[in-house]
Amino acid sequence: MAGWQTHDGVAVALPLANVDTDQLIPARFMSVPRSEGYGDYLLHDVRRDASGALRPEFPLNQAQQASVLVAGANFGSGSSREAAVYALIDAGYHAVFASSFGDIFASNSVNNGLLPARIKPETYDELVSFIGKSPCEVRIDLKNGQASFNAKQLDFVLDETWRMKLLNGWDDIDLTQQHNAQISAFKSKYAQTKPWAVPASNV
């Protein structure tokens, strides 16, 4: 995963709350290997009609070039499916701005380089009316936690650990392996003090 510091792109508003992961990617598409790309499945059933054709009135369809999503509260609530994040990334998105996120979705986002930028509910309201139905230019400064939507500047909140991870593109497995000695020591002591917690061979 590559780190990033700034992003220049186009923002689109999806003024809906509780956009859950079942909507972000319906379950029936989740058996597809990632290499085939998940972009076409993003919000599939709300974005497309029964025949699979794009609904012209749906905000994301009016901004095919968009890379930043501004959405309502509780974005990404529901299941742990990381495919919801893959769908956003494969459709070209770098960030989602919302007043709150599902916990697992937010963590999955950061693990894939997608910024879950938290903004105040009143900022969200302003932003939605500011963007309206015409997608606008956006610049995100990840390091300083700021974004400008055309002339409108705002601050967003991001856990410091997540900021570092996004900036540096850190891979957790590499990081963890630097602590192998501590993990081994913990494991030995744990097995001694909690023998009942150690599974028998193949549990």
Partner 1 sequence: MSRRQTLFGKLWAAHEILRREDGVSLLWVDRHLVHEGSHHAFAKIAARGLPIVAPDNTVAVVDHYAPTRGRSNIIDPQIARMIDTLRQNAEKHELRIFDLDDPTQGIVHVVGPEQGITLPGLLINCGDSHTSTHGAFGALAFGIGATEVAHVLATQTIWQKKPKVMRITIDGELEAGVTAKDIALHWIARLGTGGAQGHAIEYAGSTVRALTMEGRMTLCNLSIEGGARFGMVAPDETTKAYVKGRPYAPVADEWDAAEKAWDALSSDADAAFDIDIHIDAADIAPTVTWGTSPEQALPIDAPLPDPAMLSPQKSDLASEALEYMGLTRGKSLAGTAVDQVFIGSCTNGRIEDLRAAAAVLAGHRVKVPGLVSPGSQLIKAQAEKEGLDKVFTDAGLEWADSGCSMCVGMNGDLVGNAKRCASSTNRNFKGRQGRGARTHLMSPAMVAAAAITGEITDVRMLLRDRDS
Q: Give the binding site for partner 1 (CB under 8 A).
A: 17-18, 20, 22-23, 26-28, 30-31, 33-34, 45-46, 50, 73-74, 77-83, 85, 100-104, 107-108, 111-112, 159-161, 164, 172-173, 175-177, 179, 182-183, 186-187, 190, 194-197, 199-203
What phi and psi values does residue 3 have, to the nearest 5 degrees? -80, 160
Taking each helix axis as running N to C, give the angle between helix 83-90 and helix 103-111, from 0 to 180 degrees, rounded to the nearest 10: 50
Q: Which is nearer to partner 1, 9 or 72 (CB)?
A: 72
Q: What is the DSSP letter of 48?
A: B
Q: Which is nearer to partner 1, 65 or 194 (CB)?
A: 194
CB-nearer residue toward partner 1: 80 or 129: 80
d(CA 129, CA 136) in angstroms, rounded, equals 12
| Nearest distance, CB of residue 130 and partner 1, angstroms | 18
| Helix intervals (H) in 135-195 | 160-168, 172-177, 180-193
**25: phi then psi, degrees, rounded to nearest 5:** -150, 110
Minimum Å gap between C-beta 27 and partner 1 is 5
Cβ 121 vs Cβ 73: under 8 Å: yes
In the complex with partner 1, the residue whose CB is nearer, 60 or 138, is 60
Shortest spacing between CB 150 and partner 1, in angstroms: 26
